[in-house]
Amino acid sequence: MTSLERPQNGIHHVTAIAGPARRNHAFYTEVLGLRLVKKTVNFDDPGTYHLYFGDEAGSPGTILTFFPWEHANPGRLGIGQTQETAFRVPEGSLGFWTQRFIERGVAHDSIVKRFGETVLPFSDPDGMRLALVCTPGAEAEAGWTGGGIEAAHAIRGFHGVSLMVADGTRTGAILVDVFGFEAAEAEGQVRRYRVPGTTIGGVIDIRSAGDFLPGREGAGSVHHIAFRAADDAAQAAMVDKLTRDHGQRVTEQRDRNYFRSVYFREPGGVLFEIATDAPGFAVDEPVGHLGEALKLPAGLEPMRARIEAVLPAVA
Ligand code: ZN
């Protein structure tokens, strides 16, 4: 299958809540070696940043974004939340990463096997649960090396996320029917779903945790998971299915400058978004300079001086 024929399904981006912006920026660019591909503000709270990290171009399936609040209270993991966000790395790179985490004091666990894959779980400075998953063939893909990590080890976008819900049946049905996933194997309480033929961001693990405490959103929590739609028509078709066949209430489309989005809270309690691949992050600055300047949507430009005065420095 050529890249043009590849189905445009899977994760588009993951958005989480962080504490201080400077610490968040330093961790994702300097420790993990991701690229800051957009520095903008939270359109719904323009006195705070919205930082986007990804590969060189901010390709769909590589984008982890944050709303950093200087004084955010810590979240608590529970039902209706994303449990872990996992990145793809080349096979044989976990020795490098383990050493790096030890040297830099990054909280991490022992390497484990899950679904036959080799996984290094770790946490960011806000306690957000992350993992690196060894992925055969990843070494042949382009990786962003601008962060100072050589290509043999660099992160290659998302492997996937795991969701913690009481009962994953209806969530899984939406993944299969609307987002192009197929139910795959199970391990304990966890059912894996994957998008056939999609390498980046093609895995969702659903943990049906039964009677467990609900989560509390805060620093270290994932705010929402966005799924890819090739264009507006594909997004509209997904909304039709969600409304007609799954009883979901979906928001009107919102223009997020770099993609166009709709949102719904899926039956397990996790906030889902559907984001278009277009127009992408080069819409308001060239790829060679992504993330260097504070970018604002046109409606907020008149307030630029006031916004810049309240935003903390990130670097
Ligand atoms: Zn989003």
Q: Give the separation between CA 39 and CA 61, rounded to whole angstroms.
A: 18
Model pLDDT for residues 145-194, shown as the tens digit of each residue: 988 899 999 999 999 999 999 999 999 999 999 999 999 999 999 999 99
Q: What's the pLDDT at 7?
A: 57
Per DSSP, the residues of 207-251 read EE--S-PBPB-SBT-EEEEEEEESSHHHHHHHHHHHHHHH----P
Q: How far is the CA of 258 from the centre of ligand 1 (A)?
A: 10
Distance from Cα 113 to the centre of ligand 1, integer Å: 30
Ligand 1 centre and the CA of 226: distance in Å?
6
> How far is the centre of ligand 1, averaged over its atoms, from the C-alpha of 62 (Å)?
13
Distance 136 CA to ligand 1 centre (A): 29
214-253 pLDDT, tens digit per residue, is: 999 999 999 999 999 999 999 999 999 999 999 999 999 9
Ligand 1 centroid – CA 192 distance (Å):
23
Quote the ligand 1 centre to 92 CA distance (angstroms). 32
Q: Is the pLDDT of residue 2 over 50?
A: no
Distances in Å between the Cα of 43 and the Cα atoms of 36, 106, 145, 184, 314 are: 18, 31, 30, 37, 18
Average pLDDT over residues 95-122: 97
Domains for the chain: give ranges and CATH numbers.
11-310 (3.10.180.10)
Residue 236 is predicted with a pLDDT of: 97
Kindly give the distance from the C-alpha atom of residue 227 to the centroid of ligand 1, in angstroms, as a whole number. 9
CA–centroid distance, 18 to ligand 1, in Å, is 15
- Burial environment of residue 93 by CB neighbours within 10 A (0 to 12, 13 to 18, 19 or more): buried
What predicted TM-score, i.e. pTM, was given to this entire model? 0.96
d(CA 59, CA 107): 28
